[in-house]
Amino acid sequence: MLPRIRNIGRDTLRQWSCATSIPGSHRLTLQTVWSRDQSTKATTPAKTIFSGIQPTGVPHLGNYLGALRQWATLQNDAATNMTLVYSLVDLHAITVQQDSNQLQQWKKESLAMLLAIGLDPNKSTIFHQSDVPAHAELMWILSCQASTGYLSRMTQWKDKTANEKDGNKKLKLGLLSYPVLQAADILVHRATHVPVGHDQAQHLEFARELANGFNHTFGGDVLIPPETLISPARRVMSLKDPMAKMSKSHTNPNSRILLTDSEETIRTKIKAAVTDSMDSITYDPEGRPGVSNLIDILYHSDAHPAYPSQDELAKDLAGLSMRALKDRVAETVETTIKHIRASYAHFLNDNDYLDKVAAQGAEKAAKSATTTMKAVKSAVGLI
Amino acid sequence: MLPRVRHIGRDTLRQWSLAESILGSRRVPSQTVWSRDQSTTVTTPPKTIFSGIQPTGVPHLGNYLGALRQWVTLQSEAAKDTTLVYSLVDLHAITVQQDPKQLQQWKKESLAMLLAIGLDPNKSTIFHQSDIPAHAELMWILSCQASTGYLGRMTQWKDKTANEKDSSKKLKLGLLSYPVLQAADVLVHRATHVPVGHDQAQHLEFARELANGFNHTFGGDVLIPPETLISPARRVMSLKDPMAKMSKSHPNPNSRILLTDSEETIRRKIKAAVTDSMDGITYDPEGRPGVSNLIDILYHSDAHPAYSSQDELAKDLADLSMRELKDRVADTVETSIKHIRASYAHFLHDNDHLDSVAAQGAEKAAKSAAITMKAVKSAVGLS
């Protein structure tokens, strides 16, 4: 389990940080990723930032504060020579058994949500992975380079299949191959940077190895090994079990706040959040996980915060009752969510617009992928 | 090693026989595959026969007598509502390391050869596998159904990777996944029948399991489990090592007769074929493998033979000297090959025609695949 981030300075929290433990990655400072400064444009090569999102239901507050909110900011602050690509990875979603009708609905909801949080299909490329066959095409070609031994030792495969009897439904080729399709996603769009959580770092390392291995085998620089951007852990904990991360799959729906929750639901859930019976409000994640989670939510919700740390914020909250704290948290969350909630409802009911956005995204993504596939197929001797 | 076929009646040799050992397959009398009899077409559903060919160099006499010649017969005798699909499986070829330039050339040569033996792009669908992204797309979707345990136990994987150290170049995901792409090849074109050699029977059984499993999981009859047609073993042995099959890869080129060999080369190779020093000509594959191989070549070369068995033919050859036998074999082989050789040379130099044929085939194959992919994606919930 990842340690919770404590007392991290505000600047670090707002920045993507490069994973310095990744061999071969060089330190890339925030300003070169975000900058609109024209003077760096000449020296800063064009970037392509690729993000893959599982289309598995409406996101929760943890998803939003942890990643989604940054995407909208990135889009708005991006340099003009930066390409932003967002893929709803439905082919990855089916590596575990899905109900067909639910998957179809989730895809629609996920797309509506990306629009609701502020992604603009005219500024970014937003598409469904399965709409672009080149992802599967490059996946096959890369699988002729990928070692089965390496894949079977990957943490995610081992974790997901631990203790499964061989005949178990989980031991599917798609699940073993997951990182290879992920590599194809990134490499087919020539991504230079890929923001992921810690749990995907190993897969990104693998993608780099595949790219380098391909270039070594076939010559040239056909594939671009991307840099990993590890988003700083901005973990929102479960409201019912504050030692666990807020998640989509926890059996108790009151453990999470969905971006579609009504104001009333938000208040109900926050009110019922597990805290403790100690007096006053202090920030102490180890000793007071429930209360500290509420403080974290307040702290991270403010995009341009007044406080440099949770401790500073806690000082201002010290005299509040638990009820007053919860009221404040609920108000803040409602403020954060209400515009998204309204936009989402609007987009979800506009099927024509969603179809149009998906088609527009697929077209852009296909064009991007075609460039890569042409070079790849030529290098391999397929054309 | 497969037992050589002996004393098989002529009718059986000319017919495809269904593998009775294939579980669940229905017995289809062979004549309905070939028949033009209008009265059976009402009761016999239309067939789609799919053949995958590795584009790995000019075929030899064994390939021709063993399979390729039957394809042409099939094309001219097939019922009007039978669809014939031939795919040059270049994506399968790259599961072992290939030199890109050689692969590119081999693809061209293989296509020219299919035309040279008599396949007609207007009567059949002839295409390069990598030109149709749907093959890789369906492969991914099927891999979410395919068990890694099952694949790891397949004979071909075990044979090809036996005694390889884990880090060996051979243990690639593409090689493990080979049967799943093969299943995608046959299923994406809704093949009802697939002619293969014995060594592919296990893969076809797997394809049927994937199809049935998919239909069971997602409902309906989206995928069609095809029938396996095992071509009767018509084995041509190596001219230099008559206990081994004639092959493309044997280090001694004099062990095989290529369909591009000149008359002089054919005579020279036959002359140098390993026989023995016994008197007279008799058909005795175990005791006289070299001589019997020459008799087999004579016997199988005649598409409408006068003899009911090799033994009958051998009676007529009994008094020939070894040299005379070899002359006769060389004459016969030259007669079989010369038209093909000339056609091949013609097609190989007509790049425009080859490109046009490949494009025409890709268009037909893409149309066929699109129908299947639409139904598959809808069933899975991807669209």
Of A100, A145, A173, the CB nearest to B143: A173
Question: What domains can be seen in chain B, in order of their start residue?
Answer: 47-235+352-380 (3.40.50.620)
pLDDT class of B189 with cuts at 50, 70, 90: very high
In tens, the pLDDT along B276-313 reads: 999 899 999 999 999 999 999 999 998 667 889 999 99
> pLDDT at position A17, please?
31
Dihedral pair phi/psi, residue A323, rounded to 5°? -65, -40
> In this predicted structure, which of A184-193, A266-275, B228-237, B354-363 has the lowest mean pLDDT?
B228-237
Give the C-alpha separation, B374 to B383, whole Å: 8
Q: Say if the Cβ atoms of B381 and A147 lie within 8 Å.
A: no
Give the helix ranges, DSSP H, for chain A.
10-14, 30-34, 38-41, 61-63, 69-77, 90-93, 100-116, 134-143, 148-152, 155-161, 173-188, 201-218, 263-271, 289-301, 310-317, 322-348, 351-380
- Give the number of C-alpha atoms closer than 13 A to the C-alpha of residue A177, restricted to the C-beta side: 38
Give the C-alpha separation, B31 to B79, whole Å: 10
Pick the catalytic residue from B47, B107, B108, B245. B245
Q: SS3 of A68, please?
A: helix
In tens, the pLDDT along A41-95 reads: 456 679 999 999 999 889 999 999 988 888 888 898 888 889 999 999 999 999 9
> pLDDT at position A279, please?
80
Contact list in A for residue B103 (CB cut-off 8 A) is: 380-382
Q: What mean pLDDT do residues A117-133 have?
A: 97
Residues 33-92 of A with CB under 8 A from B: 90-91
Q: Which conformational region is residue A116 in: left (phi greater than 0), alpha (psi within -120 to 50 degrees), or beta?
A: alpha
Q: A281-293: b or e for each residue (b if 16 or more CB lie within 10 Å)?
A: bbbbbeebbbbbb
Q: What mean pLDDT do residues A3-31 have?
A: 32
Q: What mean pLDDT do residues A350-370 have?
A: 98
> pLDDT at position B103, please?
97
> pLDDT at position B216, please?
97
Pick the catalytic residue from A123, A160, A170, A172. A160
In tens, the pLDDT along A210-261 reads: 999 999 999 989 999 999 988 776 789 999 999 999 988 889 999 999 999 9
> pLDDT at position A166, please?
60
Q: Is A248 a catalytic residue?
A: yes
> pLDDT at position A304, please?
66
- For A31, residues 6+ apart whose C-beta sits below 8 A from its C-beta are A37, A40
Judged against a pLDDT cut of 70, whether residue B317 lies above it is answered with: yes
pLDDT class of A199 with cuts at 50, 70, 90: confident
With an 8 Å Cβ cutoff, is B94 touching chain A? yes
> pLDDT at position B117, please?
95
Give the C-alpha separation, B268 to B337, whole Å: 15
> pLDDT at position B238, please?
96
With an 8 Å Cβ cutoff, is A259 touching chain B? no
Q: What is the ipTM of this complex?
A: 0.85
In tens, the pLDDT along B113-146 reads: 999 999 999 999 999 999 999 999 999 999 999 9
Residue B79 to residues A122, B35, B36, B39, B84: CA-CA distances in angstroms? 53, 6, 5, 12, 10
- For B199, residues 6+ apart whose C-beta sits below 8 A from its C-beta are B155, B156
What predicted TM-score, i.e. pTM, was given to this entire model? 0.86
Give the C-alpha separation, A149 to A157, whole Å: 12
Torsion, Cα A331 A334 A335 A337, to 10 degrees, reads 160
Contact list in B for residue A222 (CB cut-off 8 A) is: none
Judged against a pLDDT cut of 50, whether residue A272 lies above it is answered with: yes
Bridge-partner residues for B60, per DSSP? B258
Judged against a pLDDT cut of 60, whether residue B37 lies above it is answered with: no
pLDDT class of B42 with cuts at 50, 70, 90: low
N-to-C CA span, chain A? 47
With an 8 Å Cβ cutoff, is A358 touching chain B? no
Q: Say if the Cβ atoms of B166 and A149 lie within 8 Å.
A: yes
Give the C-alpha separation, A82 to A45, whole Å: 9
Q: Is B158 a catalytic residue?
A: no
> In this predicted structure, which of B38-52, B66-80, B114-128, B216-230 has the lowest mean pLDDT?
B38-52
- Give Rg (Cα) of chain A: 22
